[in-house]
Amino acid sequence: MKAMLLALVVIVVVVGVFAYVVHRDPNRAQTRAAFAVLHEESSGVPKDPASLGYLDLKNQGRQEFDREFSVDQAMKETQSWIVQGTLLKQEYLLRQAEYKMAQLKRSGGDITSQEFEEKRLAHIDATRKFQAFWDASRPGN
């Protein structure tokens, strides 16, 4: 019984010390900012129209975005617009991932504001290009 009581006291003390250290951490704001970035959708089209990288998918929707312009579909089809759409989608997703990584680096202070702005503008440009492709009339529409 004494051993269990001693183990419980040790656990409570360790948890208390850990909580104190976390509470006093000078990088706490940076850690919270990094967690905020990580809690966002990992990839794909943001649902909020005000979000950076939002695509207005109009009538077709997310299912077509995921299905029609997949790498598997591009490998099976010979239609140039499917291959072009797949390449633009992959570029969009790559720039999105680079921008999220830049957000994480910015919260840790590991990136300059100029480098961060370059990643943000590249993501905006990839979004604009894919949106222009999406809005263009495609064969069969």
Average pLDDT score, the chain? 79
| Mean pLDDT of the 35-39 span | 65
Please count the structural domains in the chain: 1
Helix ranges restricted to H, 1-141: 2-23, 28-39, 62-67, 71-76, 80-108, 113-135
| Mean pLDDT of the 46-57 span | 74
Helix (H, G, I), strand (E, B) or coil at 97: helix
Question: For residues 91-103, b (16+ Cβ closer than 10 Å) or e, as one string?
Answer: bbbebbebbbebb
In the predicted model, is pLDDT for residue 8 greater than 60?
Answer: yes
Instruction: Decide if 90 contacts 71 (C-beta within 8 A).
Output: yes
What CA–CA distance (Å, rounded) separates 50 from 103? 17
In a domain, 49, yes or no: yes
Most confident of 9-23, 26-40, 96-110: 96-110
Write the single-letter amino acid at 135: D
Structural domain of 115: 40-135
In a domain, 56, yes or no: yes
| Mean pLDDT of the 17-28 span | 71
In a domain, 18, yes or no: no
Entry pTM: 0.67
What CA–CA distance (Å, rounded) separates 21 from 34? 19
